[in-house]
């Protein structure tokens, strides 16, 4: 019985030693992933164009408002109030449209980033299976690995695979 227990312990210890565990610094991985960099660049360009458009519309509306204030002095109280109300309604409408456009831009950006994160997770899983890893842990900000041996860091390997696939 004693020999059986020792034999079982040796088998279990050997099985545990054969498990491969690695980790990936997900922050570093995503910062170096070219597809994510390209998506961020594209959306920063769109965001910049939107900001210029919004600023231009805002400036034009301010000029129109100043022009109205000059004209309003020569108008009757009733006509000035009616025109001011129309101007205010148009300003609210334009503001709502710009807000919707900005929200759409943010949603589209977030959807693409979420898709990239999903793709990265799938690639990490595929890498782990292909290379016999029992576990691949997440490192970086908010990750589960507080310390790991450099030899167990798979970040560069996975990043190379992701970027090579993206180039194709």
Domain boundaries, the chain: 16-167
CB 166 within 8 A of CB 135: no
CB 68 within 8 A of CB 84: yes
- 19: Cβ contacts below 8 Å, ≥ 6 apart: 134, 135
| DSSP alpha helix (H) spans, the chain | 2-17, 26-32, 34-72, 77-130, 155-167
What's the confidence (pLDDT) of residue 10?
43
Q: Provide the terminal-to-terminal Cα distance of the chain, rounded to the nearest Å.
A: 60
Report the alpha-carbon distance of residue 162 to residue 36 in Å, rounded.
11
Question: 30-77 pLDDT, tens per residue?
Answer: 999 999 999 999 999 999 999 999 999 999 999 998 998 898 888 899
User: Which residues sit opposite 135 in a β-bridge?
Assistant: 21
Looking at the domain covering 16-167, what would its CATH class be? alpha beta
Collapsing DSSP to helix, strand or coil, 72 comes out as: helix
Question: 78-127 pLDDT, tens per residue?
Answer: 988 999 999 999 999 999 999 999 999 999 999 999 999 999 999 999 99
What's the confidence (pLDDT) of residue 17?
58
What's the confidence (pLDDT) of residue 7?
42
> Which position has the higher pLDDT, 14 or 52?
52
User: Which residues sit opposite 136 in a β-bridge?
Assistant: 22
CB 34 within 8 A of CB 163: yes
The answer to whether residue 8 scores a pLDDT higher than 50 is no
CA angle 139, 156, 145 (to 5 degrees): 15
According to DSSP, residue 21 is labeled: E
The answer to whether residue 16 scores a pLDDT higher than 70 is no
Residue 150: which pLDDT band, with cuts at 50, 70 and 90? Answer: confident
């Amino acid at each position: 019985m004693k020999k059986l227990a020792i034999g079982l312990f040796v088998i279990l210890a050997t099985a545990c030693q054969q498990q491969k565990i690695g980790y990936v610094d997900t922050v570093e991985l995503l910062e170096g992933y070219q597809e994510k960099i390209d998506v961020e660049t594209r959306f920063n360009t769109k965001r910049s164009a939107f900001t210029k458009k919004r600023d231009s519309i805002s400036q034009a509306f301010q000029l129109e408002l100043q022009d109205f204030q000059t004209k309003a002095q020569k108008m009757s109280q009733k006509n000035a109030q009616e025109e001011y109300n129309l101007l205010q309604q148009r300003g609210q409408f334009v503001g709502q449209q710009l807000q919707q456009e900005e929200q759409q831009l943010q949603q589209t950006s977030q959807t693409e980033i979420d898709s990239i994160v999903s793709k990265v997770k799938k690639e990490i899983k595929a890498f782990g299976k292909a290379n016999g890893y029992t576990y691949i842990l997440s490192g970086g900000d908010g990750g589960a690995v507080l310390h790991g041996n450099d030899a167990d860091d798979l970040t560069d390997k996975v990043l190379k695979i992701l970027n090579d696939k993206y180039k194709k």
